[in-house]
Structure 1
């Protein structure tokens, strides 16, 4: 039931230096972006932020991030000078929380990775250039959501109430094999003050291999919340992405024996930067069963150092 271009299998979204390159033009929306770049040992990659703010998030490996705001940039709250951050990174998304760097709009940034690695660039169009910053892994809140087979871990590195951005919201979700996350299905495609935010969202997936090295898979569902809305039932594997401009999204289903990781990147036009969701009315009752149940004992997969 995969519809049109909303599911991008690994490689389908590649462009130039990027394994995945999703911008507003490709997605058909206004704000949210995600790029994934792989660097060989000793290699470097330079990009211009343009009219978007970015977070450099190591998926595997570490890197040096050097960034400077152009002298011709719009009015900014940054000092405009060059700055360098060392990102320790991690072995993989399944082994540790990572540190990250924030890069303001109108900046030119270079990533250099002595040991090589894979790095996500999560972005959102914005108006102001905030200061470039580095956040250590120890400052990333790790949250457990749900109970039983709905248990998952959320690394809230750039959640709306955790890290200051102009529009960008981004978190990581880890779901043990056999569990459902993004459940109950929820949406955020309309603005209702205090109740629901309007946010475009990208899901980027990685699936843990089995002990013998066999590749895993999972499933992602997006169902319409409006006439002719987004309708996706996708088998997802490492490197896949799903674009969600609207609709009830969830569940995200991890196959038994294979933990599922996804990176959520969100941004929207609302007057405030907030993540407010509305549960699907047919499934919202499941939350009432969580009190009194224990989270999955496999969680957390890891904690912030």
Structure 2
């Protein structure tokens, strides 16, 4: 399963629940949980490290080391959010006084790092690309911005009518200093001005014989899995900004994001 329509990966309290076994790989995981006002959600981290990322609303994250307060945000389109890192082998509770929706980005890992707070003002925000390929990248848990064992996670905002994840690129094999093997999840939300629902498109195509090949129309709540292959572009409908959360992890000894661009595409749009 590469294209994951909204609702197809719902399980228990989660509107999205993609674990490594379901994805057919080893490391990367994503959950999205909606918490009603005054309610709580508890979960065991198991063998994975997790980041609690508010999509809408704020919360408190209760860990064995104490309570982490997250101010959150009105929506993914309103700005950068603070976040909480929680370690493997822990029992976690999320409480939300006003209610909200929260992403849990996870990766199976070996080291047990301490629970920590990630401040919104400290998130590196990058303007990437130019012209109709311009987009905003929020590197809240990129390899060089926040310490995790294996997890890499970033957010991207693509203006309506623009392309992102372009030129197409891949990270499905280990080549020292050139490319790092990473499993990747794209989770999408599409801006709906005045209640008008929008859509976008996501392309993944083979980097080797028999590889992943999908062109998906994506809407809010959909996901696309990238076990291998060239991926991009991500195309936003005119008038509707596109948000996606990228969750990545892989087997490399070093936690690094190294990608290879497709040689047949113009690299000036990176």
Q: Identify the TM-score tier after normalising by the shorter chain.
A: over 0.9
TM-score in terms of structure 1 length: 0.87
Structure 2 residue 167 is matched with structure 1 residue 184: yes
Query: 2:118 maps to which residue?
Result: 135
Query: 1:243 maps to which residue?
Result: 225
Structure 2 residue 98 is matched with structure 1 residue 115: yes
Residue 22 (structure 1) aligned to one of 6, 11, 18: 18
How far off is 1:213 after superposition? 1.2
Query: 2:261 maps to which residue?
Result: 279
Query: 2:206 maps to which residue?
Result: 224
How far off is 1:96 after superposition? 1.3
How far off is 1:261 after superposition? 0.2
- The CA distance in 2 between the partners of 1:260 and 1:113, in whole Å, is 26
How far off is 1:238 after superposition? 0.2
TM-score in terms of structure 2 length: 0.99
Query: 2:68 maps to which residue?
Result: 85
CA deviation profile, 1:224-283 (whole Å, cap 9, x unmatched): 111111101000000000000000000000000000000000000001000000001111
Aligned residues: 270
Pairing of 1:258-273 with structure 2 (within 5 A): 258-273=240-255
How far off is 1:67 after superposition? 1.2
Give structure 1 stretches of 5+ with no counterpart: 69-81, 291-305
How far off is 1:58 after superposition? 0.2
- The CA distance in 2 between the partners of 1:144 and 1:138, in whole Å, is 16
Query: 2:36 maps to which residue?
Result: 40
- The CA distance in 2 between the partners of 1:286 and 1:30, in whole Å, is 31
Query: 1:74 maps to which residue?
Result: none
- The CA distance in 2 between the partners of 1:38 and 1:222, in whole Å, is 29
Q: Secondary structure at the match of 1:45?
A: strand
How far off is 1:286 after superposition? 3.5
- The CA distance in 1 between the partners of 2:100 and 2:195, in whole Å, is 20
State the superposition RMSD in angstroms: 0.8
How far off is 1:183 after superposition? 0.2
Q: Secondary structure at the match of 1:234?
A: strand
Q: Secondary structure at the match of 1:122?
A: strand
Runs of 4+ residues over 3 Å off in structure 1: none
How far off is 1:135 after superposition? 1.2
Query: 2:63 maps to which residue?
Result: 67
Pairing of 1:169-180 with structure 2 (within 5 A): 169-180=152-163
- The CA distance in 2 between the partners of 1:46 and 1:193, in whole Å, is 40
Residue 3 (structure 2) aligned to one of 7, 17, 30: 7
Structure 2 residue 194 is matched with structure 1 residue 198: no
Q: Secondary structure at the match of 2:21?
A: helix
Query: 2:51 maps to which residue?
Result: 55
- The CA distance in 1 between the partners of 2:145 and 2:196, in whole Å, is 36
Q: Secondary structure at the match of 2:110?
A: coil
How far off is 1:220 after superposition? 0.2
- The CA distance in 1 between the partners of 2:151 and 2:213, in whole Å, is 25
Q: Secondary structure at the match of 1:35?
A: strand
